[in-house]
Amino acid sequence: MKSSTVPKPGESLAEYVQRRRLALGMSQRAVAAKSGIHAQSIGKIEHGHTTVLKTKTRKGLAYALDIPEAHLDAAAKGISVEETGALKFCPQCWTPGNAPDSMWLHIHAHYCFRCGSGLRHRCVQCESPITSLKHRFCPYCGTAYKAPEKSAS
């Protein structure tokens, strides 16, 4: 993702949502229509009256503003995107559809303890944080999280 889509340090949810909306050249009504959220709710978010987003609001707003939900979570919590709990996995050892090994999820883990490969926490194509390994592909760009293994010929 472009750095402009990432919340800036110290940027509130209200400031972040308004900045993204303006960067896209959208009105509050346009964001409301695209997200399925009432226009008044968009105004409350941008004025700082709403600081916690319900799931439907977060998903709709992320879709309308063309950003990962983790970016909204980070802005709402006042933390960096990396601290939102993005998952990490070993591209060599992880089996798609299975939960990641608990050792990979340790905050200080950067390499796989089994094979030494660097752990991934972002999509290699679009750089979106990986927030679920339930599926094999990035929900934003469709890139496989784990490249298919080459068959021996």
pLDDT tens for each residue of 91-135? 889 888 777 777 887 767 889 989 999 988 888 888 777 777 777
Average pLDDT over residues 36-48: 95
pLDDT of 23 higher than 90: yes
Calpha distance 76→93 (Å, rounded): 34
Angle formed at CA 140 by CA 106 and CA 89, multiple of 5 degrees:
20
Please say whether the dihedral angle defined by the alpha carbons of residues 142, 135, 8 and 125, taken in this order, is positive or negative: negative
Alpha carbon 127 to chain centroid, angstroms: 9
The predicted pLDDT at position 64 comes to 93
Grade residue 70 by pLDDT with cuts at 50, 70 and 90: confident
What is the reported pTM? 0.57
> Is the distance from CB of 91 to CB of 147 less than 8 angstroms?
yes
pLDDT tens for each residue of 57-67? 998 998 999 88
In the chain the beta strands, taken as DSSP E runs, fall at: none
